[in-house]
């Protein structure tokens, strides 16, 4: 079955919120207000099945986003698109959905003249599947940070678009 992505908006937020909060350990828990604020700042917000099966939310370097990971990238690069969160429902994993969303984001960012895509992946708690996925998609590790008084450690990744 071929899957296509569609733009997410506030009408999709409650569905997207359920999937997000089911995976809060990998990303972070949100409430409806915070999710709608994030969608409002996003330069890219696409989902499969209106965010029920999968979604990717990304912000460009001009977003007024208060987040330690985003701040790290702002200090490191002038221009980028930051993947804030990407989640695929467990029942839909292994079908190439994350790859579809990432490739669509790469095209959109390249068309907008943005030179790189950036993201972070938890290293504590570990997320080896995400590490492997990002390396396979052409990302390189560019940094690391310890956050929230040592409760979380992340690796920073970047992919230069050519």
Contact 67, 51 (CB under 8 A): no
| Rounded alpha-carbon distances, angstroms, from residue 134 to 13, 72, 118 | 26, 19, 10
Q: Residue-wise pLDDT tens for the chain (162 aa)? A: 344 556 887 778 888 888 988 887 777 889 899 999 999 999 999 999 988 999 999 999 999 999 999 999 999 999 999 999 999 999 999 999 999 999 999 999 999 999 999 999 999 888 898 999 999 999 999 999 998 888 889 999 999 998
With respect to residue 141, please indicate whether it lies within any of the assigned structural domains.
no
CATH number for the domain that contains residue 104: 3.40.630.30
With respect to residue 156, please indicate whether it lies within any of the assigned structural domains.
no
> Rounded to an integer, what distance in angstroms lies between the CA atom of residue 83 and that of residue 105?
9
With respect to residue 136, please indicate whether it lies within any of the assigned structural domains.
no
Q: Structurally, how many domains does the chain consist of?
A: 1
């Amino acid at each position: 079955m071929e899957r296509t992505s569609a733009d997410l908006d506030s009408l999709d937020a409650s569905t997207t919120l359920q999937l997000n909060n089911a995976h809060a350990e990998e990303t972070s828990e949100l409430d409806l207000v915070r999710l709608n604020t994030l969608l409002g700042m996003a330069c890219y917000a696409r989902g499969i099945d209106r965010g029920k099966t999968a979604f990717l939310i990304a912000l460009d370097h001009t977003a007024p986003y208060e987040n330690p990971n985003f701040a790290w990238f702002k200090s490191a690069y002038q221009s980028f698109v930051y993947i804030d969160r990407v989640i695929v429902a467990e029942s839909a994993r292994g079908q190439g959905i994350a790859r579809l969303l990432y490739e669509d984001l790469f095209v959109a960012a390249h068309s907008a003249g943005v030179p790189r895509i950036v993201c972070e992946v938890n290293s504590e708690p570990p997320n080896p599947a995400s590490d492997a996925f990002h390396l396979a998609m052409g990302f390189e590790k560019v940094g690391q940070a310890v956050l929230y008084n040592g409760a979380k450690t992340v690796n920073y990744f970047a992919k230069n678009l050519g």
